[in-house]
Amino acid sequence: MSQVRPEYPRPQFVREDWINLNGEWNFAFDDQQVGLTEKWHQNFPEDRTIVVPFAYQTENSGIHDAAFHDVVWYQRDFTISEEWAGKNIRLNFGAVDYRAWVYINGEMVTFHEGGHTPFSVDITPSIQVGENDVVVRVEDPSADETIPRGKQYWHEQPASIFYTRTTGIWQTVWLEAVAQESIDSIRWTPQVDRGDIELETEVAGDVEGLELHVKISFNGKTILSETSQLFTSYVKKSYNIRNRFTDRSNIHHGGWYWTPENPNLFDAELTLVKDGQAVDKVESYFGMRKVSIDNGTFQLNNQPYYQKLVLDQGYFPEGLLTAPTDESLKKDILLAKEMGFNGARKHQKVEDPRYLYWADKLGFLVWGEMANAAEYSEDAVQRITAEWTEAVKRDYSHPSLVAWVPLNESWGISRVAHDKQQQHHSLGMYYLTKSLDTTRPVMSNEGWEHTISDICGVHNYRPAEELAEYFKDIESATMMTAADRPVYADGFSYQGEPIMVTEYGGIAYDVGEEGWGYSSVSSSEALVEEYRKQTEALLQSPVLQGFCYTQLTDVEQEINGLLSYDRKPKCELALIKKINDQR
């Protein structure tokens, strides 16, 4: 059976003993919703096949059908070898949109709701050495606007700012074998001012007699090796990194910090030892970097840092939300850096962890954003809260991730400017995020109608001369957006936080595809010139501390990317870089 996307899917928590289940699965639409009564989890129908992890709507899935099919089923066989006998076998899903029921050998083993976050289940009691069977039933209510879906449209054909939907499995599925005693989670928190790295880890199983060995390396050289006896399943340790360097100049000149310009990473290896034998080993990494706001200034490692971001939807013509290859994720970052951007705002998508891995490795700031619902309801509140909590927990340790955006442009809170209940939800998402992560700034409602936000993000798609006027001083920058939306909701106001234009531009240039943008030009040269005028208006503003240009690539009917949908440059990228490099 062929495999696609063969790389390890969880780059900060790597185990050696795993089986990739990507590739060809049996697949069936269940438009009449008869699968449960006919027990498809025990007798799967002969219908068609699909290439996992691509949704049926995509070309790479082998199906390429954009019609509504709200219930779909998957099935494949897998083999458990004798070498895995006696171990705990975990089945992992990177992401399944939206609700998933998982069956092993005809028996239901888990349920998960949330289309963008991972889940796993111990399937040991349900399997046997030799051949086994996994079935996944998925519900994705296409027209339900209270489900967090981001840019996925609730009509069959994409239009305006919304795109083709993604239903079902869209990230890697894999098996791993672990011992009865195993490392369950890892969380890294850099304390740059102290020169420490904090490690939090949880251990499954009986910890009596267990030891945890931690080895940390930098540039291939071991700088720390320590063994601790375990007494509880939760371990929190702090290791000093700064004093491990013998080259003191490296310390004083910040040669061990993580920045986009110098993305230094430390490799880590955690090993559980019992009776002198290793029972579990996990490879990880971290970066020493600090994000802070000091006297209204955004700072990276205690130095003012101007963010030059590009809006990135994370869609691909042949895979939609799923990148066709790992190299595709890397290429998007390299192309953005080639244009002089130092980061991206991942828009309305909880991105694949492999993207964050490449951002960590290559040096690229990332704003992590939740996919929002379109309409408000109490159910929508519960859904987004649960899924966002999972997303923050999953991505906490990535040094590239420097800001959280749980809500965008009043999506799902359309009356937040005046409605107290929706303002409470905005505040709730802000404080929930802060309760999960104290190390990064959080936006309450990116773009306009903020309640409380650590950064004042403003969206403005006006021409260059109007941009200059909007952002000539703090008062004009924090009053109204160009979309006639107040920057702050009723009862809230600017409190001295950094101001950024977090969407602007959107200049359409047609390179063979019909579509739209917020303005348009008719040549490559005109695209560069209009980009120059708008961006320089922001660079010259005395109050702005960064920008985010819309956008990196075209997506379906949107042709306002600096790159086409298939990642071909629309202009000479060095010219964009020259403009961005002015600051």
Residue type, 50: I
pLDDT at 248 over 80: no
- CA-nearest of 54, 79, 91, 263 to 169 is 54
Confidence at residue 135, expressed as pLDDT on a 0 to 100 scale: 98
At 242, is the pLDDT very low, low, confident or very high (cuts 50, 70, 90)?
Answer: confident
* Interval 34-49 mean pLDDT: 95
The reported pLDDT for the residue numbered 4 is 72
Helix extents (H) in 298-370: 326-338, 353-362
> In this model, does residue 236 exceed pLDDT 50?
yes
Structure tokens at 426: 């905005």
Question: Which CA distances in Å does 380 have to 146, 183, 372, 389?
Answer: 5, 34, 9, 14
As a whole number of angstroms, the distance between CA 500 and CA 402 comes to 14
- Can you name the residues that pair with 298 across neighbouring β-strands? 293
Residue-wise pLDDT tens digits, 119-131:
999 999 999 999 9
What percentage of residues in the chain have a pLDDT greater than 90?
A: 93
Element (H, E) at 163: none
Site of tokens 């945890």: 212
Cβ burial, residue 249 (10 Å; 0-12/13-18/19+): exposed
**Lowest-pLDDT range, 157-161, 258-262, 290-294, 553-557?**
157-161
pLDDT of residue 247: 58
Q: Which of these ranges, 53-57, 197-201, 325-329, 512-516, has the smallest mean pLDDT?
A: 512-516
* Eight-state DSSP code of residue 104: E
- Identify the three-state secondary structure at position 120: strand
Q: Of 426, 428, 362, 368, whose CA–CA distance to 397 is shortest?
A: 368
Q: What is the mean pLDDT of residues 392-411?
A: 98
Single-letter amino acid, residue 477:
A
Choices 3.40.50.10130, 3.40.50.300, 3.30.70.370, 3.20.20.80: CATH for 291-580? 3.20.20.80
**Residues 454-488 pLDDT 10s:** 999 999 999 999 999 999 999 999 998 888 999 99
- The class that CATH gives domain 18-178 is mainly beta
Please say if the pLDDT value at position 2 is more than 90.
Answer: no
Q: What angle do CA 258, 388, 484 make, to 5 degrees?
A: 90
Residue recorded with tokens 């961006």 = 535
Q: Tokens 């490559």 belong to which residue?
A: 524
**Domain residues of the chain, as ranges?**
18-178, 182-286, 291-580
Q: How far is CA 43 from the centre of its chain?
A: 36
The closest alpha carbon to 147, from 135, 161, 159, 165, belongs to 165
Say which residue the tokens 């009862």 belong to.
Answer: 491
SS (H, E, C) 358-381: HHHHHCCEEEEECCCCCCCCHHHH
Closest CA to 298 of 313, 308, 288, 312: 308
Tens of pLDDT, residues 300-351: 999 999 999 999 999 999 999 999 999 999 999 999 999 999 999 999 999 9
- Band of the pLDDT at 513, cuts 50, 70, 90? confident
Q: Is the pLDDT of residue 577 over 90?
A: yes
For the domain spanning 182-286, the CATH number is 2.60.40.10
- With cut-offs at 50, 70 and 90, classify the pLDDT of residue 1: very low
**Over residues 493-499, mean pLDDT:** 97
Give the model's pLDDT for residue 246: 59
Could you tell me if 413 and 376 are in contact, meaning their C-beta atoms sit under 8 angstroms apart? yes
CA–CA distance, 329 with 561 (Å, rounded to integer) = 17
Interatomic CA distance for residues 115 and 260, integer angstroms = 30
Comparing 182-286 with 291-580, is the CATH topology the same? Answer: no
Strand-pair partners of 91: 121, 175
Pairing of strands 307-312, 544-550: parallel
- Structure tokens belonging to residue 107: 């028996």
What integer pLDDT is reported at residue 508 of this predicted model? 95
Q: Please state the pTM of the whole predicted model.
A: 0.96
* pLDDT recorded at residue 342: 98
Q: Distances in Å between the alpha carbon of 428 and those of 26, 207, 215?
A: 42, 37, 39
Average pLDDT over every residue of 169-183: 96
pLDDT tens per residue across span 417-456: 999 999 999 999 999 999 999 999 999 999 999 999 999 9
pLDDT in tens, 218-231: 999 999 999 999 99
- Is residue 249 very low, low, confident or very high in pLDDT (cuts 50, 70, 90)? very low
Confidence tier at 46 by pLDDT (50, 70, 90): confident
Q: 304 is written with which tokens? A: 């003012």
Q: What is the per-residue pLDDT across 77-119, written as a single tens digit (0 to 9) for each?
A: 999 999 999 899 999 999 999 999 999 999 999 999 999 999 9
What does the DSSP assignment read for 69-81?
--EEEEEEEEEE-
Please state, for a pLDDT cut of 70, what percent of the chain lies above it.
98
State the Cα–Cα distance between residues 279 and 83, nearest whole angstrom: 14
Q: Does residue 538 have a pLDDT over 70? A: yes
pLDDT (mean) for 503-509: 96
Please say whether the dihedral angle defined by the alpha carbons of residues 204, 350, 552 and 438, taken in this order, is positive or negative.
negative
